Amino acid sequence: MAILHNRVNKRILKQRIRSSHDDRLTLSFYKYHTLKDPAAFRDKMFATWAPLGVLGRIYVAHEGINAQLSVPKENVEAFKKSLDETGFLKGVRLNIAIEDNGKSFFVLNVRVKRKIVADGLRDETFDAADSGTHLSATGFNELSSKPGTIVVDMRNHYESEVGHFRDAVCPDVDTFKEALPVVEELLKEKKENNIIMYCTGGIRCEKASAWMKHRGFKNVFQLDGGIIEYARQVKEQGLENKFIGKNFVFDERLGERISPEIISVCHQCGKPCDTHTNCKNDGCHLLFIQCEECAAKYDGCCSEECKSVVALPKEQQKELRKGKAQLRKIFRKGRSEKIQFKGNA
């Protein structure tokens, strides 16, 4: 019987990937499609992809699949064939990473979820398939330049902090679930305007644009393929790039550069910086922005307090963490009281 989960310590797996010289390709894709048995589909995909060396984070639910992963380049065609053989994923668009060091993921994790994106919506109350009009990079540039057009970032605050489209509305929210009511309130007097929504790869806007149409917004558009596809088209077609800064990504890279501008600051010293990291103290693990100088000064930690903890023997660190899992701040995403600077450079 095939092993359908990882059995190797994650620290070991991370070290293997970091020291590996394998040529890998980072990809992402999504598809809304009714799956009668997500668990069976999950098992089939894991058993198919593990032998191909696929690594990544894949969510499967009754409503479809949302995947971010990396594949050895020698197995990309075999991976595409496995998608085609599912039927509903045949020809699905694969968003290819803009900057890729081949070390985006270190384990294959295929999980069954209630939804492939936590949106807080009751799908039975509106037509989730009635999404906004999809725009190419050219279409986005043209429409966003017209007077009265409003461009809305449907990502979280720590994503837009390091990169966003010029003059975009960027909600100060921690989750996509929080963003929907905030955006609706911000634009409640703009229901006749052209509204362009965008996110990393497009999946959040599929639901968000349909919801906005359901709520009475007349002219709703979405950036097809999100920032990743936009950047690819801009580069290939020699178009004006209206995105400034970095595109935050949810893997080991934590970001890929779309333009040379640095629009955020180091959270510890305030100098221009857009490099995200996680605090090395496993009892904290806060996601924050840190420059090279502060990384050296604080030993990769978010504070002197955490620096003193990581200097302790590993066993003593474990003792300090016992019973304190609720204090981990990885999901605080840059809202810790330890952060001294935040905002634009």
Assigned token pair, 40: 């069976």
Q: Check if 199 is active-site.
A: yes
Cβ-in-10-Å burial (0-12, 13-18, 19+) of 343 comes to exposed
In 3D space, the residue among 164, 17, 214, 35 whose CA is nearest the CA of residue 103 turns out to be 17
Complete DSSP assignment for 24-67: EEEEEEEEE---S-HHHHHHHHHHHHGGGT-EEEEEEETTEEEE
Cβ-in-10-Å burial (0-12, 13-18, 19+) of 209 comes to buried
Assign 117 to helix, strand or coil: coil
Torsion from C-alpha of 222, 225, 229, 234, nearest 10 degrees: -20
CB 67 within 8 A of CB 28: yes
CA distances in angstroms from 174 to 118, 121, 218, 224, 257, listed in the order given: 12, 17, 27, 23, 22
Complete DSSP assignment for 130-158: -PPEEE-HHHHHHHHTSTT-EEEE-S-HH
| Alpha carbon distance 87, 89 (integer Å) | 5
CB 97 within 8 A of CB 258: no
- Catalytic residue, candidates 199, 284, 294, 301: 199
CA distances in angstroms from 161 to 144, 234, 274, 295, listed in the order given: 20, 22, 8, 19
Assign 260 to helix, strand or coil: coil
Positions marked catalytic: 199
